[in-house]
Structure 1
Amino acid sequence: MDLPCPCGTGRAYATCCHPLHRGDVADDAAALMRSRYSAYVLGLDGYLLDSWHPDTRPAVVALEAGVRWLGLEVKRHEAEGPDRAVVAFVARYRVGGGRAVRHRETSRFRRVDGRWFYLDGEVDIG
């Protein structure tokens, strides 16, 4: 039996985010965002860099030790043309034995040569 995908679709990882982690192209920005969440859960820093737009990509992604990801909720996915999209989401996590934290973000995505990339995001800390 295959494990459920960390992104919360209810689908098996093997048929949900894993193909994207192997290099398949995301159908839309929401699928890419979900695959990036799963990459954080699974510690796939290489995938996070590869799916980051070259104009805003950092040199490294520092995954924090002791983070336990608790869930993802996609609040909104809007296409802003054929090659631009916005995805608003809430990702819950806990560091060590601390309290759960809600990371609220509205992310911008761009499609280049048929492939979606994370461009940047605005975090709602309020």
Structure 2
Amino acid sequence: MAAACPCGSGQPFPDCCRPLLRGEREATTASALMRSRYTAFVRRDAGYLLRTWATSTRPASVETAGVTWLGLAVVSTTDGRAADASGTVTFVAQCDEGTGPQTLRETSTFRREEGRWVYVDGVHH
């Protein structure tokens, strides 16, 4: 039996985020992209994070080391469905940067760029 996907969907990783990280298919919703980006942080896949970042806000590099990701919960979404051009996803992620568990709460903005969902930016709460 395959391990559960780190994104918290309850699905096996090979059926959930792995095809997205491998470029075998694109995320169909902003929420699916957000979940796959969380999984990329867990798996330290900086290449995927950069590929799924909007060109206007993409940094030169992404640091994925030094953080242990402990869990993800999607709190709410606004738009971001398959037919939408943009959307937001509010989530809570648990992590440990070596100083004990911490909570990250963010509302992320996503939009379609060349037909694909991309991460634009996020506001921490």
The corresponding residue for 1:7 is 7
The unaligned stretches of length 5 or more in structure 2 are none
Offset at 1:64? Answer: 3.2
Q: What is the CA–CA distance in structure 2 between the aligned matches of 1:45 and 1:102, rounded to whole Å?
A: 21
RMSD over equivalenced CA pairs, Å: 1.2
For 2:72, the equivalent position in structure 1 comes to 72
For 2:112, the equivalent position in structure 1 comes to: 111
Q: 1:83 — aligned with what?
A: 85
Give per-residue Cα distances to partners, 1:93-118, cap 9 Å, x unaligned.
Answer: 0122x221000000000012221000
Determine helix, strand or coil for the equivalent of 1:46.
Answer: helix
Distance 1:119 1:53 in 2: 5
Matched with 2:123 is 122
**Residue type matched to 2:48 in 1?**
Y
> Distance in 1 between the 2:45 and 2:108 partners?
19
Residue of structure 1 in register with 2:44 after alignment: 43
Does residue 99 of structure 1 match 2:94? no
What amino acid is the match of 1:103? Answer: L
Counterparts of 1:3 and 1:82, CA distance in 2: 32
Q: Output the CA distance in 1 between the equivalents of 2:63 and 2:68.
A: 15
Structure-2 separation of matches of 1:52 and 1:99: 29
TM-score (norm 2): 0.93
Percent sequence identity is 47
TM value normalised by structure 1: 0.92
Q: How far has the Cα of 1:28 moved from its partner?
A: 0.2
Aligned length: 122
CA distance in 2, matches of 1:21, 1:2: 16
Q: Which runs of 5+ in 1 are unaligned?
A: none
Q: Which moved more, 1:50-59 or 1:106-115?
A: 106-115
Structure 1 runs of 4+ aligned residues shifted over 6 Å read none
